[in-house]
Every structure is written in structure tokens, then in C-alpha cells.
Structure 1
Amino acid sequence: MQVQAIIKLTVSMAIFGSIGFFTKYTGIPAVELVFVRCIFATLFLGSLWLLTGGLKTERWDKKQVWTTALCGVFLVLNWVFLFKAFEEMSISVAISIYNLAPIFVLLLGAILLAEKMTLSAIMATTICFFGSILIVGIEHFQSLDQLFNSGFIWALLSAIFYALTMFTSKNINGLSSYALTFIQTAIGIVMLLPFCDFAVFEGLTMTNWLFILGTGIIHTGFVYYLFFDSIRNLSTIIVSVLVFVDPVVAILLDILILSFRPDTLQILGIILIFGSILYILFKPQRKSSLEG
């Protein structure tokens, strides 16, 4: 059972790692792409929820539903900002900044819940921040306007809202995975509908539509099914390790297919970011700590 779950999670993360590559060929902007993604996820996972009989046995809790809805707002904004970052910068740079999310979760815990941060956690957070500066290639920017227009802010916002999604979801335990995702993606449809420009769908090629359908059906419906079906059978440690398959695949595709060539400082930035995050995740916590 565990071997099957590991395979499923690895496959889901590998597929999700290619989402940046797919977005480059959809031919539509971030808001419209996330809108389509929410529609496919709602239909696909909603159908599975109904077919498995889970809808009939679902236990609804008003507080849990509202928390899930708030989490859904954060999730949708996270997707929009990530896709906007893909529009402005290389996938490798965007995905590396995006994976700063665990660091932001740590900071949110310290700020909002008064959780303690160890000295090593503070150091790792500082190193991650330094790594993000290196990977965005800040030495190439002559002004703050250039930096802001590079996609750095979008990538940073995507990481912050991904962290808010993870932080909020910690308080959701009374709903099934299907119910949770259905509510979140349905919220996304309602949120983005007023902002969608449906004219962008005119004149799209067959290739564009194939990548759009792939993003909706494969990267959302199929991947979420594999993800939720696997994590319930795996330990937190195994899940924490396997989620790194996502950025590895994304960076490899960016280098091998989209011809991204990181310079020495960007490579160092990638190493600093992921090295610090792995350190945070797997280093045993000591008793001595500093107040966050």
C-alpha cells in the first residue's frame, strides 16, 4: 500500500512540475487560465466525489466550510500570481521563489501564533531570502521599477499565498479531501468570473487548446486525485521529501526544453533556497530557542 502511495505521489508531483511548461503554450493570461483550471477541477473531482458515494456521507460543519472557503481564496490567488510570474520570468526562477512558502509558514506561525523560532530557523530564513535575491538576478536591475516588472513580486506573492493556504488548511480536519477541493475550486470560479476576458479564447490554435485542456484535466483533476489518494497513506516526512520532485522537474524542463541557462549566482541561489528549506524540514528541533 505504501509503495503504491509513494508512486502515486511521485507521479503527481512530477506532472505538476510540468505545469509551468504547459502555461507557456496555452496562449491565455493567468486569470483566464486559473478560471479554466477551477472549472475542470470542480467538474472532475466533484464527479469522483459523487461516484464514490462520498457526497452522500459527507459531514458538514459550518465553521469548517467557512475556513475552507477562505483557504480557497488564498489557493486561487496563489495560482494566479504563480502563473503571472511564469509570464514575466523563467520557470526556474519563479518556481524557486514559489518554494519559499514553508519559510513563510514558519514566519506566520511566529507572528500570528507566537510560536518559537530556533536560531537555526532564523538563519535558514535569512539564507533563503539571500538566495531569492541571487536567483532573481538582482545585479541586472538598475532600478526598483525594473525589479518589480521582472515578475519577482508575482512570484513572491504566489509563495506568500501558498503559505497562507497551507497555514489555513491546518485548521481543516472535518471535511473530506474531495469536499475541501470542490469548495475551493468552486470559490475560484465565482472569484475570477467577473475578471475574465473571454475574448482571449478567440483565435486560439488546436495546440493552445490541447495545452489548456492538459492544464485543466491533467494538472488539476488527475494530479489532485493522485495527490489526495496518496498522502493519507504516507508519513509527513515522506510527503515533505517527495514534494520536491515538483521543482526539480520544473527546473529540468526549463533548462532542457525552454533553454533556460542559469548563471553561477542563480545556481547558488537555487542551492541556498532548497538547501535551507530541507534543513528546516528535517533538522531535529532543539530545546533552546529564540522567541519569534
Structure 2
Amino acid sequence: MNISAILKLTVSMALFGSIGFFTVHTGIPAIELVFVRCICATFFLGGLWLLVGGHKTEVWEKKEIFQTLICGIFLVLNWVFLFKAFEEMSISIAISIYNLAPIFVLILGALLLKEKLTIQGLVATVTCFIGSMFIIGLNNFISFSAFMQSGFVWAFLSAICYALTMLTSKTITKLSSYALTYIQTTVGIVMLLPFIDFSLFEGLTTMNWLYILGTGFIHTGFVYYLFFDSIRSLPTILVSVLVFVDPVVAILLDILLLDFMPSFMQTMGILLIFGGIFYTIYMPKNKRLSQA
């Protein structure tokens, strides 16, 4: 077992779990924050890519470059929608819905890639759907306006875009992780530039800028470096379990530092969602290994 890789992945997930806490203290809207994040990550990861000499050994294929550009669009939209969700609802609730992405990978894989959807996958999907209903609260579904203002749509869209990011990057094998992320964050800069209101950066405090640069260099640059440097040395099942450090840290910070207190129904919803996700990721593989 590669202890160093385990520690790197655990640290990266723990750091990423604090992104919601940083986001609410930046003082700028979602699109502007993602724009700065893309700039910081492009410089950080691009610099590392040049430093390790990876740019000299890259294998460039038109098909993979096109896939990476599409993947970059989904990745940036995923970030924008997630940060929009943080603006409308508590971090714990947004993160819980965001982590439905593995379930959407199952569903979209079945619809788009003709992959087989198992009984376990269907059970997990229904479980997570019921959990999401508990989290938002049935009263928010009485009127359309209440539903739209709940932030559920933004969190839901972020989860779908995250799933599409995973699906579109699934077959990219020639490009290194550095090149892949560098292209994606560059796409983000070009894509968001026309929508940026630069006046929103005026009057920000030093603390605002520290939180903004933190989301860029720490949560994107450094976290992505640790993540990509570790996952290739670890078995998939271990990676799948360790990524749960992210939502656990996010929920704990939300409760301890931002005074969020989930209701009984929301707590049940969170447990149902993560129970369904964990079952999807771990149990079917465990059964297949046992049968083998």
C-alpha cells in the first residue's frame, strides 16, 4: 500500500472540503470567482507542467484535444453552478446534492454509452433521489418560485456537469494530467471572460483577496496536483472511498464554523444520499471480488 499516495489524496480531499467555507468569504459572485480560480490554476499547474518537463513528452491527438475542450466546458460549468448553489443554500446541503455525481454517471452511462444499469445502481439511484427530497424539504416543491430559490437547481446542475466531466474524460488516455487540466482551465478563462464584471473586484478587503487566491492556488492548483499525483498509485476502490473525506470536511466546517444545524429530515437525507453513493461505489465491486 502506497502510504504517501494515500496521505496526498486524503489531504487533497480535506482541503477541497473547505472550498465552500472559502467561497462564502470571497465577496464576489460565482462567475468572477471561477474566472480567478481558472487563472490561478492555469499558472500553477502550467508552471509545474513546464518544471517537470512534461510538455516535451506529451502525445497530442486531435480527438483527445477536442474531448478535453468539451470536458473543460463541463468542468467550468460544474464550478460555476456549485458556487451559485453555495450562494443560495447551506454548504452541507449543496455538497450533498453535488455528490450525487456518481449516480448520474451510472444513469448517463446507461443512456449515452449503453452501459448496463444494474439492480444495485437502480436501488442506489432511488435511495439518493429520496434523500435529495428530504434535504430540500417537500414544502419547497409546493410552488415553483420556492423551488427555484432553494438553490436545488444549481446544485443539481453542478452534479450533472461533474458527471459529464467524468464521462468525457474517461477515454482521454494520451494526455498527461497536467496537460489535461491546463487546457481545461484555459478554456475556463476564455469562456468566462465576456461575462466578467471587473467592477466587482473594486473595494475588496485583504481577507477577501486571501480567500479568493486561496480558492485558486490551494483548492485548484495545489489540490489538483496532489490529487493527480496520488490517484495513479492507488486502486480505484480506495480512491472511491477516500473522496468521501471531501463532503465530510465540508459538512463539519459548515456546522462548526458557519453554525449550520440540519433538521432531522435533512440529516436523514444526507445519510440516504451518502449511503446510496457508498453502496454504488463499494458494494457491487466488493461482491464481484468475492464471487471471483
For normalisation by structure 1, the TM-score amounts to 0.96
* RMSD (Å), alpha carbons: 1.2
Tell me how far 1:142 sits from its aligned partner: 4.0
Unpaired runs of 5+ residues, structure 1, are 288-292
How many matched pairs?
A: 287
Asked if 1 retains the 8 angstrom alpha-carbon contact of 2:120 and 2:284, the reply is no
Cα separation, 2, equivalents of 1:116 and 1:228: 28
Tell me how far 1:191 sits from its aligned partner: 0.2
Unpaired runs of 5+ residues, structure 2, are none
Cα separation, 1, equivalents of 2:273 and 2:130: 8
Cα separation, 1, equivalents of 2:9 and 2:115: 30
Partner SS, residue 171 of structure 2: coil
Asked if 2 retains the 8 angstrom alpha-carbon contact of 1:84 and 1:154, the reply is yes
Q: Which residue of 1 aligns with 2:173?
A: 173
Tell me how far 1:140 sits from its aligned partner: 5.0
Cα separation, 1, equivalents of 2:233 and 2:47: 23
Q: Which residue of 1 aligns with 2:258?
A: 258
Tell me how far 1:121 sits from its aligned partner: 1.4
Cα separation, 1, equivalents of 2:263 and 2:65: 46
Asked if 2 retains the 8 angstrom alpha-carbon contact of 1:138 and 1:147, the reply is no
Asked if 1 retains the 8 angstrom alpha-carbon contact of 2:49 and 2:178, the reply is yes
Q: Which residue of 2 aligns with 1:15?
A: 15
Cα separation, 2, equivalents of 1:141 and 1:203: 38
Q: Residue deviations 1:199-258, cap 9 Å, x none?
A: 100000111011001111111111111111111110101100000000000000000000
Q: Residue deviations 1:147-196, cap 9 Å, x none?
A: 11111000000000000000111011010000000000000000000000
| Aligned AA (2:259) | S
Cα separation, 2, equivalents of 1:238 and 1:198: 42
Q: Which residue of 1 aligns with 2:157?
A: 157
For normalisation by structure 2, the TM-score amounts to 0.96
The structure 1 segments of at least 4 consecutive aligned residues displaced by more than 3 Å after TM superposition are none
Tell me how far 1:284 sits from its aligned partner: 2.7
| Aligned AA (1:143) | S
Q: Which residue of 1 aligns with 2:217?
A: 217
Q: Which residue of 2 aligns with 1:99?
A: 99
Matched, 1:198 2:198: yes
Q: Which residue of 2 aligns with 1:290?
A: none
| Aligned AA (1:167) | L
| Aligned AA (2:228) | F
Cα separation, 2, equivalents of 1:171 and 1:149: 37
| Aligned AA (1:255) | I
Cα separation, 2, equivalents of 1:109 and 1:222: 30
Percent identity of the aligned residues? 70
